[in-house]
Amino acid sequence: MTNQDLGLLLVRIALALVFIIHGYGKLTGLAGVETFFGNLGIPAFFVYIVTFVEFFGGFAMLLGIFTRIFGFLLAINMFFAIYLVKFSQGFSGGYELELTLLLASLAIALAGPGKYSIMGGKVMGKEM
């Protein structure tokens, strides 16, 4: 086990825990999330996209499958969370968590899942 692979695994586990829990919260409270998004002027269909990306993206991170794709999707998700909701609250008590999640997701998207994953950074036998 290399330090780099262990580091990627730990980042993936942290991302998985946060996104699975937040995605599950959205999944079990879709009506409330639709209302919240509606109050921001965001069309309701984005509720389902965000919920899917967070919940299943979390599991993808945990298992190490399609991590580059979900890493980018989760980073985009966090960018819009910051831009549309959190930025006006400032850094402390505002968007510091979302910024951390954005950067960690982007790091996994760029670096890949590491050796300790189902896909091991490969798709159909080729390095991603």
Residue numbers of the domain that contains 56? 3-121
Q: Distance between CA 122 and CA 26 in Å, rounded?
A: 31
Is 62 within a domain?
Answer: yes
Give the mean model confidence (pLDDT) for residues 85-102: 87
Q: Are 50 and 77 in contact (CB under 8 A)?
A: yes
Is 127 within a domain?
Answer: no
Is 128 within a domain?
Answer: no
Is 126 within a domain?
Answer: no
Condensed to tens digits (0 to 9), the pLDDT of residues 14-73 reads 999 999 999 999 999 999 999 999 999 999 999 999 999 999 999 999 999 999 999 999
pLDDT for position 93 = 76
Is 16 within a domain?
Answer: yes
Q: Distance between CA 60 and CA 44 in Å, rounded?
A: 24
What total of structural domains would you count in the chain?
Answer: 1
Angle formed by the axes of helices 30-39 and 3-27, nearest 10°: 90
Q: Distance between CA 12 and CA 19 in Å, rounded?
A: 10
Is 93 within a domain?
Answer: yes
pLDDT at 123 > cutoff 80:
no
Is 54 within a domain?
Answer: yes
Cα 48 to Cα 27, 59, 77, distances in angstroms: 8, 16, 12
Is 37 within a domain?
Answer: yes
pLDDT at 86 > cutoff 70:
yes
Confidence at 88, pLDDT banded by 50, 70, 90: confident
pLDDT at 80 > cutoff 90:
yes
Give the mean model confidence (pLDDT) for residues 101-121: 91
Q: Are 105 and 76 in contact (CB under 8 A)?
A: no
pLDDT for position 90 = 78
